[in-house]
Amino acid sequence: MFNWIKTAVLMAGITALFGIVGAAIGGQQGMLLALGFALLSNFFAYWFSDRMVLKMYNAREVDEASAPQFYRMVQELAQRAELPMPRVYLIDEDAPNAFATGRNPQHAAVAATTGILRALSAAELRGVMAHELAHVKHRDILISTVSATMAGAISALANFAMFFGGRDAEGRPGNPIAGIAVAILAPFAAMLIQMAISRSREFEADRLGAEIADDPAALASALDKIHRFAQGMPIAAAERHPETAQMMIMNPLSGGGLRGLFSTHPATEERVDRLMQMAAARPGTRR
């Protein structure tokens, strides 16, 4: 129930941003048109955003014949998590990362870069994919995928406002400086809405993922390794579509400027510490 509340809050917040940007472009009429566009975008994002994101990353679907070890790993973890088998994708990128997408567990997909398959041990990779399946089980995938699509639409609409100017409530040309401000602040506000929901999701997915894989220390090791390997190896698709960064297990952006300050992910050190505390509390663990 709480995830549905979070989704409703996210939708409401970003829909309100559509109205603000629309008002800046064309006054009251622009606001109404933008809200109509927001409703259509919400509908489109619910049904098709997962395909859009996978296409952005040039992900290719694999099966038991084309990627037997990886596919069977996901299959085994899905059974442990009591989930339907998701579609499985690989992304030809050296940077190690992974994400899950889809509107519900029955229409889910998990994707990993070829770099993460090379960088991690089998136990570490199990931890990462279990983390992604935890997002599926919690139905976070709808929130993250829809928010990525909607934030991208907000950015496009805000850029339209900057280049074509705005109108006041009476339809007169607006202040061009205000249009520029909207173009900057609207995507920023959309990012803050994503952040408010995304950070807490990662801690919970780490916890449940560690339980699904039955190895908190392996997931902690994977996160530490991804953090070290990924520095200086940004993913080109993520740089072109930064609104999708919050879907990844680790922030894939280069991290400069505001992107590093306002990360959608918690500090890796804190995530690792929590998982190691979880590992230490397991029966039979030496202290």
Q: CA 239 → CA 37, 75, 235, 252, distances in Å? A: 26, 31, 6, 8
Name every residue whose Cβ is closer than 8 Å to that of residue 92 and which is 6 or more positions away in sequence. 58, 60, 113, 114
CB 123 within 8 A of CB 218: yes
- Which of 93, 132, 202, 243 is catalytic? The answer is 132
Q: Is 239 a catalytic residue?
A: no
- Give one DSSP letter per residue of 84-98, joined into a string: PPPEEEEE--SS--E
CB 134 within 8 A of CB 209: yes
Rounded CA-CA distance 67/60 in Å is: 11
Rounded CA-CA distance 166/151 in Å is: 20
Backbone φ and ψ for 84, nearest 5 degrees, come out as -60, 155
Q: Is the dihedral of CA 139, 105, 278, 122 positive or negative?
A: negative
How, if at all, do strands 108-113 and 87-91 pair?
parallel
CB 217 within 8 A of CB 275: yes
Q: What's the number of CA atoms in the CB half-sphere (13 Å) around residue 65?
A: 0
Rounded CA-CA distance 112/57 in Å is: 10
Would you name the residues annotated as active-site residues?
A: 132
